[in-house]
Amino acid sequence: MPSAVRFENVSRRFGDVRAVDDVSLDIASGEFFAMLGPSGSGKTTCLRLIAGFEQPDDGHIYIFDEAVEGVPPYKRAVNTVFQDYALFPHMTVGENVAYGLMIKGVGKAEREQKALAALEMVKLGGYGARRTSQLSGGQRQRVALARALVNDPKVLLLDEPLGALDLKLREQMQEELKSLQKALGITFVFVTHDQGEALSMADRVAIFNEGKIVQVGAPEEVYERPNSPFVADFVNSSNVLTPQFASGHGGTSKWTSLRPEKIMAFAAGAPVPDGHAHADAEIETISYQGAVTRLGAAIGDMHLIAQVPAAATRFAVGDAVRLTWPKTAMVAMEGGP
């Protein structure tokens, strides 16, 4: 598959801060690619480097194998959905969507027809004549999407586009974005700090920390096999076991990730199944979350979170429990925290 966006040892500094630090990455054509990381991790700067709002200090960026250093944003075949949507307040919804076509010199009749088609694609067919101030947050988001897609970009960049929406709307938009991407076959590069969003939507996820990419892989991969304590903790808050604890409880003497849902809780002294490791712990916290309950348990200095089915919970804070988990669920990682 041809590469849509390629970074070769790209760095971008702001003063003394290395916002993007020697990043190499390869996004395939037609891929739904998520850049995930805490704020200040460099993911948005990477997006702006692709859009052309920033230029790299070192390294090279290729869009469909064309070097784009020095190419201004208006000459790149990429379009952006901005975090605050950045709709033009002095234009109607239709004029907003048709803006890119007007700049390209597309005739009035054709661009109106294309803008209408783009608005229908995002389910805002009858909204062309409205002012952007009359729209809700979710509708503005769709207008921003239509305004970008109407230009037939080779790569669509989305900068935390769902951040301002409420939970229900966000889940609905996740579905829609994903099916839209499948239908159009355009490469989507999506920046988010919400790991659930990244895992549920993307074909591949790159996890950023302090200007570097720490791990790239399919959602299952970064979830099941985190390569560092940072990834284990950032992606759905895994238990990070110290080398000492891990080696004493069925693992190796490396930093080890153990997902809370892999841990089972039994009464003290219960038999340990084959192939399982165990630890005797005292319950510190119980957090009821509907379908599941999260138990916080202490084994000496080590604190573990166990996520167990709600129906199976009959513990109280202070109870002694026996925690067990399959040895195969212990994922050894490189490096330390």
Partner 1 sequence: MSSDAKAVGSKKAGSPLGLRIAAITGLLFLHLPLALIILYAFTTEERSFQFPPPGYTTKWFGVAWYERPDIWPPLYLSLKVAAIATLMALVLGTLAAAALSRAKFFGRETISLLFILPIALPGIITGISLRSAFDIMGLDFSVWTIILGHATFCIVVVYNNAIARFRRLSGNLIEASMDLGADGFQTFRYVILPQIGSALLAGGMLAFALSFDEVIVTTFTAGQQSTLPIWMLSELIRPRQRPVTNVVAVFVIFVTLIPILAAYYLTREGEHTGGASK
**Interacting residues with partner 1 (CB under 8 A):** 51-53, 72-74, 78-80, 82, 84, 86-90, 99-100, 102-104, 131-133, 147-148, 151
Question: Looking at beta carbons only, is 88 or 271 nearer to partner 1?
Answer: 88
* Beta strand pairing call for 3-14 and 78-81: unpaired
Q: How far is the CB of 136 from partner 1 (least distance, A)?
A: 14
DSSP letters for 210-225: TTEEEEEE-HHHHHHS
* Beta strand pairing call for 187-192 and 264-267: unpaired
- What is the SS3 string spanning 25-91? EEEECCCEEEEECCCCCCHHHHHHHHHCCCCCCEEEEEECCEECCCCCHHHCCEEEECCCCCCCCCC
- Report the sign of the C-alpha dihedral through residues 274, 276, 280, 284, in that order: negative
Question: Looking at beta carbons only, is 88 or 218 nearer to partner 1?
Answer: 88
Radius of gyration of the chain (CA): 24
Q: Which tokens belong to 111? A: 């661009």
Q: How far is the CB of 35 from partner 1 (least distance, A)?
A: 18
Question: Looking at beta carbons only, is 79 or 257 nearer to partner 1?
Answer: 79
Q: Are 52 and 208 in contact (CB under 8 A)?
A: no
Question: Looking at beta carbons only, is 115 or 265 nearer to partner 1?
Answer: 115
Question: Looking at beta carbons only, is 78 or 323 nearer to partner 1?
Answer: 78
Within a 10 A sphere around the Cβ of 333, how many other Cβ atoms?
23
Q: Which tokens belong to 159? A: 């900068």
Q: How far is the CB of 79 from partner 1 (least distance, A)?
A: 6
Q: How far is the CB of 53 from partner 1 (least distance, A)?
A: 6
Q: How far is the CB of 34 from partner 1 (least distance, A)?
A: 20
Cα separation of 162 and 160, whole Å? 6
Q: How far is the CB of 147 from partner 1 (least distance, A)?
A: 7
Cα separation of 94 and 116, whole Å? 7
Let me know if 70 is exposed, middle or buried by CB neighbors in 10 A (0-12, 13-18, 19+): exposed
Q: How far is the CB of 228 from partner 1 (least distance, A)?
A: 34
Q: Are 315 and 282 in contact (CB under 8 A)?
A: no
Q: Are 98 and 112 in contact (CB under 8 A)?
A: yes
Question: Looking at beta carbons only, is 51 or 173 nearer to partner 1?
Answer: 51
Q: How far is the CB of 75 from partner 1 (least distance, A)?
A: 8
Q: How far is the CB of 155 from partner 1 (least distance, A)?
A: 12
Question: Looking at beta carbons only, is 144 or 263 nearer to partner 1?
Answer: 144
Question: Looking at beta carbons only, is 84 or 175 nearer to partner 1?
Answer: 84
Cα separation of 36 and 218, whole Å? 12
Question: Looking at beta carbons only, is 43 or 147 nearer to partner 1?
Answer: 147
Cα separation of 126 and 114, whole Å? 14
